[in-house]
Amino acid sequence: MKLAKILVLVILVISISSTSAFASSNGSGFADVDLTDWHVGYVLTLSDMDVVRGYSDRTFRPDGTISKAEFIVLAMKTSHRHYETAENEHWAMNYIRGAEEMGAVEPGEAKTMALDEPINRAEAARILVRTQLNEDTEGCESFIDQIDDYHSIPEDYQTYVLKAFAKNWISGYPDGTFRPANEVTRAEASVMLTKSMGEQAQSRMEQMLEEAERLLQKEVEQADNLRESILKEALSLKGTPYRFGGSSPNTGFDCSGYVSYVLAKHGIVLPRSSSDMYHSVEHISRDEMQPGDLVFFTAYQAGPSHVGFYAGEGQFVHAPSSGRTVSFDHIDNSSYWGPRFLTAARVK
């Protein structure tokens, strides 16, 4: 049990260092947080300020809920209160006792609180206000009219919701409701916690967003360069004879052998068949297609049975069929390829 509790804390709460904040392949430090996500600035700020970390598989799981214990721990950490992992009891109890001492949690409340159950928005507001708010918020009652479902908020939580709302730590929904019983996701918790930390966190978030924008631009440039290089290699093989099962310019190519060969030159390994390729890549809309992207068709059999590279201006280059060579065709060719086009895809 002791080891299990320590592992829970290691997975859920222990901080990561700022040097690893942008270490993942998508630039964010987390496998499931993209630099274009709405919550990226908040997540990166808390990560960089040694407040949160991801799971052992390097995911953050932004859409997953956050438990009451986790939220209390993080709220205490954002208010610069740090404790050791509790042993032989719930892993968060040292933090919870600290929260009790400062009045953030009622004495003995932890005994009846379902610590590992998701925290809701009203409960989160109370914890935030009790751990972060040192000054009074006079006039917060004026915000009652801005919350359409204010009277659905349990009375014990109404003042805390108003104070958190007045400080803009927790905002309402576009329809004007607060929805106090809604469970808080990890992404939403990141927003609440970052906002509650004030100017220091806001300044750090601006820096993180600037860095994220720089990295995003770098990613875009690298992606453009990759597609350009892929297409250049693909075009260099024009005239290579078609050969069923072929995957070498020396012996010839079939469609997926041609694509596999070109991508392998760039360190990208996909399944060998066009059908398996189709199911292993990121599909994009036709409007998003750029030269160097993959294009899939249903040809000699139902489903994705043919693949090539988009070459721009409505053309694609591929290894078409027996008796032909690697060459161009038009995607919109009404007599064959047009009706058989399935989708485009992007490799990274």
Q: What is the CATH number of the domain that holds 338?
A: 3.90.1720.10
Nearest C-alpha neighbor of 14 from the set 74, 67, 59, 62: 74
Of 162 and 202, the structure prediction assigns the larger pLDDT to 162
Task: Give the residue numbers spanning the domain of 125.
Answer: 2-210
* Residue 230 domain flag: no
Q: What is the pLDDT of residues 35-61, one digit of tens each?
A: 888 998 899 889 888 888 889 899 999
Nearest C-alpha neighbor of 314 from the set 335, 328, 330: 330
Q: Supply the pLDDT for residue 326.
A: 98
Co-location of 59 and 187 in the same domain: yes
Co-location of 52 and 179 in the same domain: yes
Co-location of 80 and 190 in the same domain: yes
Listed residues 210, 226, 247: the one ending a domain: 210
* Residue 222 domain flag: no
Average pLDDT for 237-263 = 96
Q: Supply the pLDDT for residue 28.
A: 64
Residues 6+ apart with CB under 8 A from 293: 227, 284, 309, 310, 344, 345, 346, 347
Number of domains in the chain: 2
Bridging pattern class, strands 282-284 and 341-346: antiparallel
Co-location of 195 and 307 in the same domain: no
